[in-house]
Structure 1
């Protein structure tokens, strides 16, 4: 298994939770295989359930549609500890610069996502075969983007219509996705956090911070 960060190991779940995770993983795996073999329109929920060995009712307890099963997305957002660290970094004296705090947030969040190279390549193949899934995937990520935008507005004490928060979320989100491509590229030996921070350094090079103004200058 080629995980984003082997240190991101959660506490051992109980028997019921382990069974739930196995069922969910089986549904996702079969949904992805059938989609690659036949396309989304080439199989029914009933056929998927038959292969997995679960009832239709069980399927809909996990996913509202075939598309959601293929994406394997969950309702989990940013871990609360990461969000708390981001907010708290704005309360220090002096406060941590926004770009530095956002870099920490995205690097930590990306590193906490346990995804294998095989899963990443499978998802890339699925999006190539069913391009409309990309829009659905981005739509499901919108809640995370809005949450982060709201946190930036609050942390920086910006008005609700300030574009800076939305731009920051959009730009760093794009860098995060690009960093996953580079992380899983053949020959890469860096951790996800290292790849992401390298891309942030490139951003700083392209858009350097202005030098501090001399307050004594009239």
Structure 2
């Protein structure tokens, strides 16, 4: 079922308010009732849009759907191992739904509340293990290869997110997460491409 613009707007307002409170008071320094009052709704209405206080502050953590898993394991969506993981990862992060300002606000929340970083990191680690397992299930792909691909793609995404966090106000409209990740991927392929006339450093 499609999410209405009004529902999406209310949810975003809840997340924005929760993050402001988390930065100002700390995660444990406000209650769900405080958040509902800040948004101007009842507790019951609040939980129609988010499942918990943690989700209100962090949003939905990245996850992959059963459909994405099936596509990834069967060799899709493009047939290119790296590109397929990039596409899946971008989708799991919500694509360009979050702006640079949103990433900066989330960064401020986690810096102010380091206990939340543990929760995020545990989730990312669990998701990473799952993605490696799904990649390794593809024909011709081994576990070590899957781990390397995940490490590379994870680094490209991390760099893109960091760029958004560090973006100045004048740079906020110069490209979202998707464009930045693909830019980093292009740079990585350029750096890793074999050089004409190069020789291996390996010895016999």
TM over 0.5: same fold?
Answer: yes
- Aligned partner of 1:116 in structure 2 is 99
Is residue 171 of structure 1 aligned with residue 152 of structure 2?
Answer: yes
Q: 1:1-218 alignment to 2 at 5 Å? A: 13=2, 17-73=4-60, 77=64, 80=67, 84=71, 87-89=74-76, 96-103=79-86, 105-106=88-89, 112-142=95-125, 144-158=127-141, 162-183=143-164, 185-186=167-168, 189-190=174-175, 192-204=177-189, 207-208=192-193
For 1:153 and 1:118, locate their aligned partners in 2 and report how far apart those are by CA, in whole Å: 36
TM-score with structure 2 setting the length: 0.69
Counterparts in 2 of 1:107 and 1:38: CA distance versus 1, 3 Å: closer
- Aligned partner of 1:9 in structure 2 is none
Q: Which has the higher contact order (CA 8 A, sep 6+)?
A: 1
Matched-pair contact (CA < 8 Å) for 1:24–1:62: yes
For 2:90 and 2:59, locate their aligned partners in 1 and report how far apart those are by CA, in whole Å: 22
What root-mean-square deviation, in Å, do the aligned CA atoms of Structure 1 and Structure 2 show? 3.8
Q: Report the alpha carbon displacement of residue 38 of structure 1 after superposing the two structures with TM.
A: 1.2
Q: Report the alpha carbon displacement of residue 82 of structure 1 after superposing the two structures with TM.
A: 10
How many residue pairs get aligned? The number is 192
Unaligned runs of 5+ in 2: 197-204
Unaligned runs of 5+ in 1: 1-12, 212-218
- Aligned partner of 2:200 in structure 1 is none
